[in-house]
Structure 1
Amino acid sequence: MDYYKALGVEKNASETEIKKAYRKLAQQCHPDKGEGGDEKKFKEVTEAYEILGDKQKRAQYDQFGSVDKGGGGSGFGGFEGFDFGGFQNVNFDFGGNFGDIFDTFFGGGGAKGKQARESRGSDIEIVIQLDFEEAVSGTTKEVNLSRYESCTHCEGKGNEPGSKMVTCNDCQGTGQKVKIQRTPLGQIQTSAVCSTCGGNGKTPEKKCTTCRGEGRILKDGIIKIKIPIGIHDKAVLRLTGKGEAGMQGASHGDLFVHISITPSKTFERIKDDIHTTQHVHVLQAVLGDEIKVKTIYDETILKIPQGTESGKVFRLRGKGVTRVGSSEKGDHYVKIIVDIPEKLSKKERELYGELIKESGLKITPQNKSIFG
């Protein structure tokens, strides 16, 4: 089976495109839909997603055209059936821990413990768009997610209530499938998660009539996500256990929330500091003044001393963004822009003339239109 064709995507499809295609097909052909369901097609798209939705398995599939569907697989799957007889008398000196070499080659397929073997649910990645104000103040967003959730009918176990879980026939209760491979080192035995029981070693004696033995069902639901105060653009929130449910009671995956913040037209944020510009009249700059400055919290008074030059920056302590996970705040920096009048009234011209005489300067205006 061509997994890419099964999902209807190109070989260079992104992770997002693959996940989107799978969710659409899974909803269309899920057996629970009755007449519109297609159990065979559902199994095909599920198998395809289990491979293409996993980076390691997808890379192996792209390289060798096949993959051990149990997961935790071997990087040498392509050597099966190849004769390495010419290497039989070659000595390989690794100069290190032999077990570590195999862990590297075979992805730690021999991990011990039930939790390490079980088919953990997939992680989910989403993007949330925030306004500048929402990022500064924090908020709670509601997101509609389509994901696998534990089946309430069988409590995620996969068996019909009242029936038992029995030893998996494919792995004999070990939760692992053993695979023999021939490599330059000779024959090597590796193990991977059993795809039949999801690694827990047991299968339903009678499958749950709601989830058909998977212990999970595809649902659309709303999840509330709390956005912390002061979060930064491109930050990633990890919600442990909020991803998809695993098969037959295996642990949930995680939900990764990527934050995208729409810039403000008024405020520029640099780390936890706020930067703005404030225009003042030339007379305010010369004589000094008290002006109102808008911050992200309120309006505050800024004292402009006499003789302030254009480009001068003033600092408002503690008026910046609250640091994530802290009560401390950044600062607000105000850059002064002195506005020079383009035209003067007759009265203003006379007054500026008096100032010129008082200063003793000899000035020849280059643009006489400034005088009216």
Structure 2
Amino acid sequence: MSKRDYYEVLGLAKNASDEEIKKSYRKLAIKYHPDKNPDDKSAEDKFKEAAEAYEILSNPEKRQRYNQFGHAGVGGASGGGFGGGGMNMDDIFSQFGDIFGGAFGGGFSGGGRSSGRRVTRGTNLRVKVKLTLKDIANGVEKKIKVNKHVSCKTCSGSGAKNGQFDTCKSCNGTGAITRVQQTILGAMQTQTTCGTCSGEGRIVKDKCNTCHGDGIVREEEVISINIPAGVAEGMQLSMQGKGNAAPRGGINGDLLIVIEEEEHPYLKREGNHLIYYLNIGFPDAAIGTSVEIPTVDTKAKIKIEPGTQSGKVLRLKGKGLPDVNSYGRGDLLVEISIYTPTHLSVDEKKILEDLKASKNFEPNPNKKEKGFFDRMKEYFD
């Protein structure tokens, strides 16, 4: 099932300000919050959809990629684990809880969650993946090895030996310290993260011998990445939860995949179009011929009409690259260049001298040839 446009989800125009995005998300999230809509699957789905839209549009880098490439730019085109898709309630409450301020009794409770307890998040990882034009044309699955923090198997990521914790006495297990200060305006209440337990509300009783209480260890992991067709150089995809694990059972960071394009030996990319420069001899240009040219996947045979001029561009429709948002496919453009020999025998010179006397071989001085970029502009526009 295809995703809805994120701006449509939040009811905003594409030029919406950061404040408008935040305000619209807050309104929708309060409306569909689980505390207000218990056991309502439809409301829960809309709540998650709004959070996913906000996650992308509130982040300048992700928003730019989304505006340029659509859902595929943030990994949401194929539902393969990229981008904001698949957010669970814990992700939403931990990432965006502070946007609600005093709603729902002074904390973003999320149905029984402790409002002060902080959930840690692992750091993101960035990797570069090189792709050939064939990979880009068809989409590809890549397996990469990543050295990263993973959850400790000995203590199941808790950091505690035998899973035993003590409640933090400083915050009484809430993860936050609340202070009330009297001012000329009355009592002012502030809440800060507990420094004793770092906002976790509990303290490890006996540290795990494997991870020494961190809940994470460093290991090498093989990750399978499904890259959609049509991606481009510099485009960044993300896989949610595939980054570094967080200490003591927090939320994993994301894996960011930066696309690098390998140069093709014959074809040049221009957007979704491909360009091939074909050199032919003068006799072939004059009397016509058929030639075989390379494409992304195989080869194609094209016909050179008699009288073909240097600079002529032939178009092979649909032989370019697919659009990353599934909006069709580019073309393969073949620019013809006529080769002029530099070393001629006496007999060859004589033949050309005889041809030169024919009016058919006199160039038209009034005909102005278009430049290469002018010719290409006809296709790219």
TM-score normalised by L of structure 2? 0.58
Q: CA deviation at 1:253?
A: 1.1
Amino acid at match of 2:128: V
Check conservation: 1:322, 1:329, Cα contact below 8 A: yes
CA distance in structure 2 between the aligned counterparts of 1:135 and 1:281, rounded to whole angstroms: 33
Equivalent residue, structure 2, for 1:158: 159
Question: SS where residue 355 of structure 1 aligns?
Answer: helix
Check conservation: 1:119, 1:193, Cα contact below 8 A: no
Q: CA deviation at 1:224?
A: 3.1
RMSD across aligned C-alpha pairs, in angstroms? 3.6
Check conservation: 1:147, 1:218, Cα contact below 8 A: yes
Distance of aligned partners of 1:306 and 1:194 in 2 relative to their CA distance in 1, 3 Å threshold? farther
Distance of aligned partners of 1:115 and 1:156 in 2 relative to their CA distance in 1, 3 Å threshold? farther
Distance of aligned partners of 1:274 and 1:281 in 2 relative to their CA distance in 1, 3 Å threshold? same
Amino acid at match of 2:228: P
Question: SS where residue 283 of structure 1 aligns?
Answer: helix
Unaligned stretches of 5+ residues in structure 1: 1-98, 104-108, 364-372
Check conservation: 1:277, 1:335, Cα contact below 8 A: yes
Amino acid at match of 1:238: S
Distance of aligned partners of 1:346 and 1:334 in 2 relative to their CA distance in 1, 3 Å threshold? same
Q: CA deviation at 1:127?
A: 2.5
Q: CA deviation at 1:250?
A: 1.4
Q: CA deviation at 1:239?
A: 0.6
Q: Deviations over 1:188-221 (max 9, x none)?
A: 6543444654544233333333223332222233
Check conservation: 1:274, 1:321, Cα contact below 8 A: yes
Q: CA deviation at 1:361?
A: 7.8
Please give the residue correspondences for 1:61-140 in structure 2 after superposition, counting only pairs within 5 Å.
114=113, 117-140=118-141
2:328 equivalent to 1:308: no
CA distance in structure 2 between the aligned counterparts of 1:237 and 1:274, rounded to whole angstroms: 23
2:212 equivalent to 1:216: no
Q: Deviations over 1:275-324 (max 9, x none)?
A: 11000111211222211111111111111112211111111111112333
Question: SS where residue 349 of structure 1 aligns?
Answer: helix
Check conservation: 2:266, 2:294, Cα contact below 8 A: no
Q: CA deviation at 1:133?
A: 4.3
Check conservation: 2:114, 2:174, Cα contact below 8 A: no
Equivalent residue, structure 2, for 1:277: 277
CA distance in structure 2 between the aligned counterparts of 1:343 and 1:115, rounded to whole angstroms: 86
TM-score normalised by L of structure 1? 0.59
Q: CA deviation at 1:110?
A: 6.9
Percent of matched pairs sharing the same residue: 31
Unaligned stretches of 5+ residues in structure 2: 1-97, 364-381
Equivalent residue, structure 2, for 1:257: 257
Question: SS where residue 174 of structure 1 aligns?
Answer: coil
Aligned residue pairs: how many? 259
Distance of aligned partners of 1:198 and 1:357 in 2 relative to their CA distance in 1, 3 Å threshold? same
Check conservation: 2:136, 2:321, Cα contact below 8 A: no
Distance of aligned partners of 1:274 and 1:307 in 2 relative to their CA distance in 1, 3 Å threshold? same
Distance of aligned partners of 1:152 and 1:197 in 2 relative to their CA distance in 1, 3 Å threshold? farther
Equivalent residue, structure 2, for 1:292: 292
Check conservation: 1:110, 1:192, Cα contact below 8 A: no
- Greater C-alpha radius of gyration: 1
